[in-house]
Structure 1
Amino acid sequence: MTGSEAAVEDGGTGKRAGETVLARVFAAAGRRALDLLLPPTCLACDAIVGQEATLCPACWDGMPFLAPPWCERLGLPFAYDLGPSALSPQAIARPPAFDRLRAVAAYEGPARVLVSRLKYYDRPSMAGAMGQWMARAGSELFVPREDEAGPPVIVPVPLHRLRLWGRRYNQSGLLAREMGRAAGLEVAPQALIRRKRTRQQVGLDAAARARNVSGAFTLTPQGLMAISGRRVVLVDDVYTTGATVGAATRALLREGATAVDVMVFAHAGADTPLG
């Protein structure tokens, strides 16, 4: 390469670098201008906040986050520490089909608002922040056990195809995708299908919920390959009576999953610590 050719190449490189810097400056200016016109707002109450996908101080303070000590099986909070692997009366009286359940928050206050906005008010973008919170809250579920060759696979609770058509997205699928992305885990979004169109669970008691979803779930061929011989972390938005995740868990275990843990955003029975 001659000196003149080198000079031309260096000049071209410098020009491209300058254009890149200029593009970044314009992009940053554009974001600032957009924030002035459409400032980011709280996910729960729409108050103006300093950054996207977050809560305002008031909603953050009111968020009923869950933390140990809690029931090893159902994730129900205890008022005081009962020691490792302590079980709640509910888990002893009616042991769930799954191994462990964890949730970000109790199903009240801002947590209830977030679930409602994601599920019923066409706000799929909220799944990003909610899924990241789920990844942090459920981190213990993602660690391979001593007898496991690798980490678990994440599977969302599916919607029936007609309900999916009406809503346009599966909120549990969005949460699973964002949680898997944040945790660095495999997600099998089409592993389960809901073969039976069920009634809405809202308003049904525990027995009616169980009857409603009995036999509702089955595995797809790709789902069988994804879960065979592996532990599954089943994802849903809310845990109420456990009927839905119980039916899904039994389908997964029946078709070859070694164990099932459950991760939800909100837990409807966890508003008051036990004890």
Structure 2
Amino acid sequence: MFDRHSIQKAITILGKGTLDILFPAQCARCSEPVDTASSLCAGCWPDITFISAPYCVQCGYPFDYNVGETPLCGSCIAKPPPFSSGRSVLKYDEASRDMVLSFKHADRTDQTPAFAQWMVRSAPDLLAAPCLIVPVPLHPNRLLKRRYNQSALLANQIGRLTNQPVAPTLLLRKKATPSQGSKTFKGRWLNVKGAFAVRPTMQEKLIGQRILLIDDVYTTGATLSACADCLLNAGAAQVDILTLCRVVRPANLSI
């Protein structure tokens, strides 16, 4: 089945108006028609929690109230992550779960433009300065099964929106680790230890660069930290992170 995203290039020559007539803009959550692409319908908007300040200046964890000019969460104080700063767009909860999982597992790649626009709007400071955009990779076995890497789709679209360079294959997932979804906090960190590597032919590309690491969901930070460590050890000057969703409090939600 064709969708708006998959045939967009094919009918560009006919103009945007034709595309809008054939495939009207849809709510990113429920697919109901909306006036503007990359938006939510009036029914879904109140249910989705967008993360805004105040939040931890290092990992982006949201606070209920202002805790100072440069607030740090307890986790970043206790165990500072290797990345310098981070931002997430949405709270991952019951309201956003199905929307995110359909993008991640159910071929809803047509949601990519909406999600990427939200990510760009949420992190103007991270995207204002030059950076190299790098997605968290999938292992080849999982990529073959899923057919696409949702983080790479987001990274490529963010690059197009901001004119920042993207290196979608710079990071490799060299270990076919089990899914993080059912693992404990400690288990998630052990699961991804040593799982990533920089593609040898691309290492020179990242030396001295500020990397903006892209992923779909921030849960414990284990995967993002493992990737950031790998990039810094290979010569990156700095790593910042940007994710679509953030698990704010532990919950029985599959990812």
TM-score bin, normalised by smaller chain:
0.7 to 0.9
- In the TM superposition, residue 83 of structure 1 has moved relative to its aligned partner by 2.6
1:103 corresponding residue in structure 2: 88
What does residue 157 of structure 2 align with? 178
**From 124, 132, 135, the counterpart of 1:156:** 135
Query: 1:121 is matched with which residue?
Result: 106
Whole-angstrom CA distance in 2 between matches of 1:30 and 1:235: 29
| Range with greater deviation from structure 2 (194-203 or 216-225) | 216-225
**How much does 1:31 deviate?**
5.0
Partner of 1:135: 120
Q: 1:262 aligns with which of 235, 241, 244?
A: 241
Structure 1's 47 and 28: CA in aligned 2 closer, same or farther, altered over 3 A? closer
1:54-133 correspondence runs (5 A): 54-133=39-118
- Which whole-Å CA distance do the structure 2 matches of 1:31 and 1:267 have between them? 32
* TM-score between the two structures when normalised by the length of structure 1: 0.80
Q: Output the CA distance in 2 between the equivalents of 1:49 and 1:71.
A: 33
Q: Is the 8 A contact 2:37 2:114 kept in 1?
A: no
Structure 2 gap ranges (5+): 1-12, 251-255
Q: Mean alpha-carbon deviation: is it higher for 197-206 or for 94-103? A: 94-103
Cα offsets for 1:51-93 (capped at 9, x unmatched): 4443111212221101111111121122222232111122111
Larger Rg: 1
Equivalent AA in structure 1 for residue 160 of structure 2: R
Are 1:188 and 2:167 matched, yes or no? yes
Quote the residue 1:16 is aligned against. none
TM-score normalised by length of structure 2: 0.86
| CA displacement, residues 7-63 of structure 1 (integer Å, 9 cap, x when unaligned) | xxxxxxxxxxxxxxxx979x857853x36xxx5432212323234443111212221
Change (3 A) 1:53 1:211: same
SS at match of 2:176: coil
For structure 1, the 5+ residue unaligned runs are 1-22, 145-150
Aligned residues: 238
Specify the alignment match of 2:196 in structure 1.
217
Query: By percentage of residues, which structure has more helix?
Result: 1
Residues 164-220 of structure 1 show CA distances to partners (whole Å, capped at 9, x for unaligned) of: 011111000001111111122111111001011010110101111111111110011
Is the alpha carbon distance of 1:251 and 1:45 closer, same or farther for their aligned partners in structure 2, counting shifts above 3 Å? same
Amino acid at match of 2:137: P
Is the CA contact (8 Å cut-off) linking 1:77 and 1:270 kept in structure 2? no
SS of the aligned residue for 1:235 comes to: strand
CA-to-aligned-CA distance 1:235-275 (integer Å, 9 cap, x gap)? 0000001111111111001000011111000000269xxxx
Alignment identity in percent?
Answer: 39
